[in-house]
A and B are shown apart, each in its own frame.
Chain A
């Protein structure tokens, strides 16, 4: 309990600095004008911020943000380095694999397929390999539940979904912790081009979208390297390149050739969007530009390497730009430069951010402004977010409670609402998987849907209700109503007071009259039993279970 309900003294002290900075940026007059355009009440703005920049409110959060001022809190969240998050780091440090390199993991956590001859070793290898994934999942949930750098966690999740990889593919899980630690997290609020470049060179993405195996076609010239410069004909280069490719893997040598997978998804899903104005020829050029971007010994070492001998040295035309012949890694870098600055990319990223933070019905004017910020600031993600968080659309009536929680958001917000300790076991992550969103488990490169209607169906409602009941009855590790401060206080009060307390703590003080009536008395309007069941259903547990399963809690 101490870990997560601790006072935000440090954060508050640091916030003063952040406030000074943000005031200098915007000026009092502009702040006043923006606030004038806000349709939400002051109280709603606090909850909106906690529901969008964070995974919902923990006990006391609403009061803290209100005391600080919502704009100051937003400014602070936009500068996560100013927030002391040592308790979170301390908690996740119990998972040793999170800090390890792929090479170290591949050494210490032998892959099951290398132990096929020994059933005991195989069983142990399977367990260890599963542990890699569960530690990642468990840490992700724990950070979301307890970290004070909430916006950073939201953005890490956003980019991990935008640049999704699938943990079940080959040795992918050995690359996951490095992917989050080095490719995603450092750039989550940084420059888009840096993020894109870090992802493009990550073993996780190179492996997931097959680029590590993509090489110059046999009938095209490979980039001449020092090793084979002047050494003869194309046949010789082919043989050497093939040998180099063969050394990349512990398995039998693979045949070589172009693989378009990364080239296509880079354009369709990572940058321009499917309607971003590119052709099949551009996909081919992109794929050719990235030949030679590969992974050194994927099952032993797992680091990025550029292999000139595998690179297509021919001239390429990409989106109207000519990539001159006989260049190396610059080809791929230039493709990234080009796509990162395309207006289509600015719009695509802007609309995804707006959909995530504002509404499934994306306000076009806001997308225009966020895209303009993206272009003006050279793809500064923090600046784009600031444009969203200071917009009238973000604080509009239409955007309030407009988003349906994804399973991950539902689970984390429930645990935060009841002041749960982060779960150090895989149990919570398994529940999220059962609700339809296995973490790092989306097979296809489009990531999980951002639209609410994709998550809501008959079976999903059932699973969500059942999850709420598990939390309320203490069957989720870390969540205990007895340890919940509000719960402790409410336990001895009258039922009416308990209902008020639960509505305030879990539903943000907002419940429809119907919901309140059901929570208060157990009246079932369907059965017409206006009094029969009243007062029979005692127990805070029941009220909490009903509140977590209520329609209101499915929204944020």
Chain B
């Protein structure tokens, strides 16, 4: 917080002197940083509540899978309501069908048995670790996406000031993953991002926050007014959905629709974030249909619509999903699954190594399970995250993003 306040107050002092805060930001952030590539966007989607990876990317070729899940397993491909085969061993949950055409085009790179090395089964700790980027280290003050924003710096070659829309979360509150010194924006929708007052009163409200005070509230307020002006000028809402993409009416679908509008409006978006809950399926999660299937339908349709809508722009976009951990390999007594360990994620984009399921499969036989109950971990989530940041966002070194982590392996997703 200290650093955030310092930067904000410094920037604000310059603002009141009539200077652009960009100057300061560039000075603080850009020293010794590689030249950023223009126009690359990373969209992070968090499945909060620990999504059941084994029923999402289904290991239908592993016989143990069916023994562990007598009533909730997804049937083998070819049978009614069976998995959608990907490579003869893995298949997608049938509700994930909207992603299959993208898989066929080579845009989808799932990673299995991936996650956090922490053994915690607490949602809150595990989300915290995945968002701070520091498993088993509590109290890391900032999120790893914010550390990316802070260390990568702003576009040194650009004449325009740093965009307040560099990092946007469609959420009521700034997510942990984006907390930190670099400015970010959280909003519930584009339409709500305006001051509902007449022009002169808007100016006076702005003046209340432009006093040079250095605290959190003044700082966030000053950023607010910058952002409102810029969004009004860019007017992303004028961009219609393209290529007949069909976004679900769900909050998640609508968030992704608006992320696409921000991409199209070229407001300087580099990082977008949205989250979606409902994955904590302890009870009656269902199989090919039911609770989890409904969540997955919304999830897959929303992502497929985003990819369709963005069309060729996907060359510069990567979508990365994540969830704090997987669920127990064995179903529980309530037709659901309790908290487990490793999970699965998707990296989707124009330049990913698609059409293959990444990550070493540890197997589901009793002796292969983590603590005798969960899918074992073979890929650290930081291996994938850092690879995406290096290859897609063009950052040479990611040490600062994931302190204490040296990836010996590569995930090979990009």
B-binding residues in A (CB < 8 A) = 210, 213-215, 217-218, 254-261, 264, 268, 274-275, 280, 404, 434-436, 443-444, 446, 449, 452-463, 465-466, 469-470, 512, 514-515, 518, 522-527, 533, 536-537, 542, 545-546, 549-551, 554-555
Whether A444 touches B1, Cβ cut-off 8 Å, given contacts A459-B185, A551-B217, A551-B218, is: no
Whether A457 touches B334, Cβ cut-off 8 Å, given contacts A259-B282, A554-B217, is: no
B184 in contact (CB, < 8 A): yes
5 A–B contacts, CB within 8 A, in A order: A257-B333, A261-B338, A404-B216, A457-B174, A514-B211
Contacts of B228 in A (CB 8 A): 462
Contacts of B300 in A (CB 8 A): none
Whether A259 touches B187, Cβ cut-off 8 Å, given contacts A274-B124, A280-B121, A404-B217, is: no
State the CA gap A542–B199 with chains docked (Å): 12
State the CA gap A218–B330 with chains docked (Å): 14
Interface-located stretch among B20-28, B188-196, B233-241, B301-309: B188-196
B81 in contact (CB, < 8 A): no
Contacts of B122 in A (CB 8 A): 264, 268, 274
Contact between chains at A542 and B201 (CB < 8 Å): yes
Contacts of B173 in A (CB 8 A): 436, 449, 454-455, 457, 460
State the CA gap A261–B203 with chains docked (Å): 50
Looking across the interface, which residue of chain B has its beta carbon closest to that of A267? B122
Interface-located stretch among B219-227, B355-363, B406-414: B219-227
B335 in contact (CB, < 8 A): yes
State the CA gap A542–B210 with chains docked (Å): 19
Whether A453 touches B179, Cβ cut-off 8 Å, given contacts A259-B333, A514-B208, A518-B208, is: yes
Tell me, rounded to whole Å, the shortest Cβ–Cβ distance linking A249 to chain B. Answer: 11
Contact between chains at B207 and A512 (CB < 8 Å): no
Given A457-B220, A461-B221, 18 more contacts at CB 8 Å? A210-B282, A255-B71, A258-B333, A259-B283, A280-B121, A449-B173, A453-B1, A459-B172, A459-B192, A460-B186, A461-B220, A463-B188, A466-B195, A469-B197, A518-B204, A524-B206, A537-B204, A551-B213
Tell me, rounded to whole Å, the shortest Cβ–Cβ distance linking B203 to chain A. Answer: 5
Contacts of B179 in A (CB 8 A): 453
Contact between chains at A527 and B216 (CB < 8 Å): no
Contact between chains at A523 and B207 (CB < 8 Å): yes
Tell me, rounded to whole Å, the shortest Cβ–Cβ distance linking A467 to chain B. Answer: 10
Most A C-beta atoms less than 10 A away, residue of B210, B216, B277? B216
Contacts of B16 in A (CB 8 A): 525-526
Whether A463 touches B208, Cβ cut-off 8 Å, given contacts A456-B220, A551-B217, is: no
Tell me, rounded to whole Å, the shortest Cβ–Cβ distance linking B58 to chain A. Answer: 21
Tell me, rounded to whole Å, the shortest Cβ–Cβ distance linking B283 to chain A. Answer: 6
Looking across the interface, which residue of chain A has its beta carbon closest to that of B179? A453
Contacts of A465 in B (CB 8 A): 195, 197, 205, 224
Choose among B71, B188, B200 the residue that contacts A459 (Cβ–Cβ < 8 A): B188
The residues in B between 81 and 128 inclusive whose CB is less than 8 angstroms from any CB of A are: 121-125
Contact between chains at A466 and B207 (CB < 8 Å): no
Contact between chains at A259 and B338 (CB < 8 Å): yes
Choose among A217, A274, A550 the residue that contacts B333 (Cβ–Cβ < 8 A): A217
> Nearest 4 A-B pairs (CB), nearest first?
A257-B333, A436-B172, A514-B211, A459-B187
B370 in contact (CB, < 8 A): no
Contacts of A446 in B (CB 8 A): 124
Tell me, rounded to whole Å, the shortest Cβ–Cβ distance linking A519 to chain B. Answer: 8
State the CA gap A458–B228 with chains docked (Å): 9
User: Looking at chain B's contact residues, is the secondary structure mostly helix, strand, loop, or mixed?
Assistant: loop
Contact between chains at A461 and B204 (CB < 8 Å): no
Contact between chains at B164 and A458 (CB < 8 Å): yes
B405 in contact (CB, < 8 A): no
Contact between chains at A255 and B334 (CB < 8 Å): yes
Tell me, rounded to whole Å, the shortest Cβ–Cβ distance linking A255 to chain B. Answer: 5
Tell me, rounded to whole Å, the shortest Cβ–Cβ distance linking B259 to chain A. Answer: 15
Contacts of B172 in A (CB 8 A): 435-436, 459-460
Tell me, rounded to whole Å, the shortest Cβ–Cβ distance linking B356 to chain A. Answer: 34
B250 in contact (CB, < 8 A): no
Contacts of A536 in B (CB 8 A): 200
State the CA gap A452–B1 with chains docked (Å): 11
State the CA gap A520–B192 with chains docked (Å): 29
Contact between chains at A256 and B123 (CB < 8 Å): no
Most B C-beta atoms less than 10 A away, residue of A449, A457, A470? A457
B284 in contact (CB, < 8 A): yes
Whether A549 touches B121, Cβ cut-off 8 Å, given contacts A257-B334, A453-B216, A459-B188, is: no
State the CA gap A215–B283 with chains docked (Å): 13
The residues in B between 207 and 266 inclusive whose CB is less than 8 angstroms from any CB of A are: 207-213, 215-218, 220-221, 223-224, 227-228
Contact between chains at B277 and A443 (CB < 8 Å): yes
Most A C-beta atoms less than 10 A away, residue of B188, B196, B204? B204
Contacts of B183 in A (CB 8 A): 458
Contacts of A254 in B (CB 8 A): 283-284, 333-335
Contacts of A512 in B (CB 8 A): 211, 213
Contacts of B185 in A (CB 8 A): 457-459
B332 in contact (CB, < 8 A): yes
Contacts of B221 in A (CB 8 A): 461, 551
Contact between chains at B208 and A551 (CB < 8 Å): yes
Contacts of A453 in B (CB 8 A): 1, 179, 216
Contact between chains at A452 and B283 (CB < 8 Å): no
Looking across the interface, which residue of chain A has its beta carbon closest to that of B128? A274
State the CA gap A280–B125 with chains docked (Å): 14
Tell me, rounded to whole Å, the shortest Cβ–Cβ distance linking B250 to chain A. Answer: 14
Most A C-beta atoms less than 10 A away, residue of B16, B173, B200? B173
Tell me, rounded to whole Å, the shortest Cβ–Cβ distance linking B1 to chain A. Answer: 6
State the CA gap A535–B334 with chains docked (Å): 68
Contact between chains at B187 and A458 (CB < 8 Å): yes
Contact between chains at B200 and A546 (CB < 8 Å): no
Contacts of B49 in A (CB 8 A): 444
Contacts of A444 in B (CB 8 A): 48-49, 123-124, 277
Most A C-beta atoms less than 10 A away, residue of B48, B193, B209? B209
State the CA gap A528–B338 with chains docked (Å): 61
State the CA gap A362–B107 with chains docked (Å): 48
Contact between chains at A255 and B123 (CB < 8 Å): no
Contacts of B1 in A (CB 8 A): 453
Tell me, rounded to whole Å, the shortest Cβ–Cβ distance linking A514 to chain B. Answer: 4
